[in-house]
Amino acid sequence: MNDVDELLRRDGEQWRATATGLPRVDWAALPGRRRTVASSWWMVAAAGATAAVVVVLAIVLPSLVGGRSARPLPPLTHRPSPSPVRPPLAGPSSFIALNDHGMVTQVDASTGETRGMSATIEGRAATSLTVTDEGNLGYATFSRPRCQVSVVRFRWTSASTAEDTDAGTVAGAKAEAAAVSPDGHLLALAVAPCGKTSGKGSVSVDDLVVVNLDTHQQRRWTGYPDVSFLSSLQWAPDNTTLSYVVNPCCGGGTDAPRLLDTSAPGTSYVKPAPLPVDVSELGSGLVFWYGGRLAVVQGTEIHALSKTGVAGAVLARGLPADVVSVETDTTGRHLLLDTFQHRLFRYDDGTLTPMPGNWVDAGW
């Protein structure tokens, strides 16, 4: 038993030494720290070199392909969208106007700029003007010695040329208003006869004279025996009926408009009864033919007007409040408006456009 016990004791001690002893590590067989650091630096350097090559190629390659050096992109700038362009107005492209120096000129109806040369008679100033042919043909009147009024025709044939022709001579001291018929054959003039003046010496009585521009025949009508003058002469589309306003002198107010049949017998332009139109407002009583319809200006509106003088429906709105004369084109839809302040406007189917320049009379 002792031998057996001795064997068991020795085997137990050997087992405990094997179970509880720390493992032995061969540190020399493991990779050193310096080797690990050297390997990481090489990888970082290689990655950086690769990135540098990529950047260089990205810069150089486009310029090599495009044949020019690379340029930086310009900074972004805000460009406002262009304002809408106003469509050009319909109607005549030009009108003929009379300035305050008595010179006649053709004017661009869109810009108000003078076209070509201004025309006049040497040493004389035009006193009235009427226009036809879409703003290319005008008749101006000039006072001449020995109580005569000369009517001169001006036709603009190019941007820089105007020709003048003697269209007629009328007995009188001065023509204060004029109107040519739509067909261009008849010319109506408000003429101050010689010897009829007011106490201050200014002419204040007008005769109505109609001149046939083809035959040069004339016909004359007279007004009130004391003092009065005519304004707002307008021909109807029938080339026979003439509308006008009689203005008593010296603050006596304005008569209502009248219609005269120039083909009927008679010698008095005050014999036709005034139309019952309210003329209490400035601009009221101006009768004309708007698009072929008899119309009247009342305040800032255009109203239809019956032959008996009854104002009807509103045909147009938005006129200046102080209109003193109206000129129409051949269609009657495009208007030139002169105001009490001597400002000129054009009116086209509801569109009011101021015209630059200082014009005392104009037409187209």
Task: Specify the pLDDT at position 104.
Answer: 92
More confident: 248 or 322: 322
More confident: 11 or 38: 11
- Closest C-alpha to 326, from 189, 188, 186, 232: 232
Task: Specify the pLDDT at position 22.
Answer: 45
**CB–CB of 307/287 below 8 Å?**
no
Average pLDDT over residues 210-238: 91
- Closest C-alpha to 282, from 247, 234, 331, 250: 247
Ranges of each domain in the chain:
94-363
- Closest C-alpha to 124, from 80, 67, 183, 174: 174
pTM for this prediction? 0.73
For residues 1 and 47, what is the distance between their CA atoms, to the nearest angstrom?
76
197 contact partners, CB below 8 Å, separation of at least 6: 203, 204, 205
SS3 124: coil
For residues 327 and 139, what is the distance between their CA atoms, to the nearest angstrom?
14
Is the pLDDT reported for residue 64 higher than 90?
no
Task: Specify the pLDDT at position 59.
Answer: 46
Numbers of helices and strands, H then E, in the chain: 2, 23
- In Å, how far from its chain's centre is CA 28? 101
Task: Specify the pLDDT at position 281.
Answer: 64
- Closest C-alpha to 110, from 135, 147, 131, 132: 135
Q: Which helix (H) or strand (E) holds 180?
A: strand 174-180
In terms of CATH, what superfamily is 94-363?
A: TolB, C-terminal domain (2.120.10.30)
Task: Specify the pLDDT at position 60.
Answer: 41
Q: 126 to each of 23, 142, 352, how far by Cα in Å? A: 133, 5, 28
C-alpha angle with apex 158: 124 to 338, nearest 5 degrees? Answer: 55
